[in-house]
Structure 1
Amino acid sequence: MAFSIKLNTSRYTAHLAFSSLVTNALMLSLLAKKDPQGELIDKCDGNIKAAFATLAADKLFSIHHVHEINSHAHTARRFNNIYRDFPLVYTSGMKDWGIKIIGIGQAPHFEIEALEDIA
């Protein structure tokens, strides 16, 4: 059940990938532990994947922003040391990762993509 998700909040933008090691049961377990009132699931209209991605991204962004870390690898190593109950965030050469940082940054973030060339 691997998936990726892009998040745009007022604090940050994030693009994360999740491996098949991140199961629904694991996501629900961590959401119940870290957000017992279910506010994240409510904000995401019951979408467990979106709520879990938001939870993980909030923690990743806090590390990235508060510690002023500029590399994804350093953010991943720090996250893996602090949040041992979460799936591992990918670092170079890792095979048993659960989360991979594709991109994370402070909002507002503007991106322009050309959909097609105009002749």
Structure 2
Amino acid sequence: MFINSLALNCGVDLEVRDGETLVTIGSSGTGKSILLKNIAELMKPDTGSVKIDGIDITKCSAFNLHEIQKKIGYVFQESALFDSLTIFENVAFGLRILTSLGESEIKQRVAQSVLQ
């Protein structure tokens, strides 16, 4: 992906295993949002592929893409946090809604993710 001739996320090779929680943190302009938009198929990468469960989502049908997107939780950089929740509660929100994890497991995963 190129922004103003600057290459972002060149050669990214990322594997997130089933059940893992991933948080991306970094300085402004380093490509975090673009990486996550590529993973969620909100933006197509200029080159390469994005595979989820072995399926290249840049080439799959709208139905299959929708099924895959239901497995992904993300929080946008601007104005997408719930103002009434803490950072911890915002990160835990998706795990509470979309998984059957118990509260102690959710707390452990959020704590690990936020502290990394």
- TM-score tier by shorter-chain length is under 0.3
- Give TM-score, length-normalised by structure 1: 0.24
Larger RCO (CA under 8 A, 6+ residues apart): 1
